[in-house]
Amino acid sequence: MPIIWREKPGAKNVDERGSPDGTLSEPSPPADANLVVSSGSLQDDLDRAAAVVCFNSNVAVEAIRQGIPVLCEEHCAAYPIRFPWEALAGPQMLRIEPDRQAWFAHLANNQYSLSELKNGYAWEHLRA
């Protein structure tokens, strides 16, 4: 499959504890004959995507919203319905539809308003 490389604008580097270290990353795409560096919008790239591969990105949430399979690491919000890395070797696996509705319900259930944070409701809900 062709690969579209999108750089993450303004990505911050982190230290060994995961805290921003004050520097910005400057990723460079790996050398690969199938790789094209994106020059279009995110939506243009998603319109052409067979799958999205990322470490941890909100792009994964948008891809899933649009029905595009996602392969990601455990730190990503999409991890519960990600596809296994082996799916890249057998693209027919990417045709399996995950339970997106349940996942979206889970994400929505864990969003709180400022008043719910202030009055303690969010903390009590998380502790239950």
CA proximity to 79, closest of 57, 50, 95? 57
Domain parsing of the chain, residue ranges = 3-96, 98-128
Q: Alpha-carbon torsion 30, 35, 41, 45, what sign? A: negative
* pLDDT value of position 122: 87
Tell me the average confidence (pLDDT) per consecutive run of 10 residues in the chain, 128 residues long: 79 80 80 86 93 89 94 92 88 86 87 91 84
pTM, 2 dp: 0.73
pLDDT attached to residue 20: 83
